[in-house]
Each structure stands twice: as C-alpha cells, then as structure tokens.
Amino acid sequence: MEPTPWRHLLMVAISVAGAAAIMWMEMPPDHRSMMVLTMRSRCHRALHSAARRAGRLGMSSELRGYGESAAAGYGLAYQLSRLRDRI
C-alpha cells in the first residue's frame, strides 16, 4: 500500500506532537510555568486586538446603516472580549 500525502502528514503531525510532549515533560517546572504565562499573554493580546477590530467593524457598519451587520460585529466583539477575560 502506497502512503498517501494525508497519511504522511498525519505521521509527521504525530511525530511532532510526541517530540513536543517529551520536551514538555523534560522541561523544569519553572520553565513550564513561564511558557504557560507567555502563551496566555499572547492569547490575551490576540483576542484583545480581534475584539477591537470586530467592534470597529460593527461601528462602521452601524454608521453606514447596515443594522444586521452591525449587530453581528458587536456580538462577535462581545464574545471575543468575554473569551479574552476568561483567559
């Protein structure tokens, strides 16, 4: 049976995940906690900018007179900001 590109990609992904798990377990606890804090900070910043962008998109849609689009933009901004605050 000839390996397909998807099968090869799956094997590579499993190998990389295994290497990452080994690296994580071998890392000292203080490095792990610093890595977690760094990732939380990056996620917080990314969600903040995405919520701000969605809010501004909602405002621009509201000013143009597109009520449904504005509500969707505001709703997305609200959900993103709630997710950001939970992190």
- Local confidence pLDDT in tens for the 87 residues of the chain: 677 889 999 999 999 999 999 999 999 999 999 999 999 999 999 999 999 999 999 999 888 888 788 888 899 999 999 999 998
Distance CA 69, CA 74 (A): 9
Structure tokens at 33: 């906690």
Q: Tell me the H-state helices in the chain.
A: 5-26, 29-64, 67-86
Task: Give the pLDDT confidence score for residue 12 in this predicted structure.
Answer: 95
Task: Give the pLDDT confidence score for residue 51 in this predicted structure.
Answer: 95
Q: Are 61 and 70 in contact (CB under 8 A)?
A: yes
Distance CA 7, CA 33 (A): 34
Which residue reads 């990732």 in tokens?
39
Distance CA 38, CA 2 (A): 42
Task: Give the pLDDT confidence score for residue 1 in this predicted structure.
Answer: 60
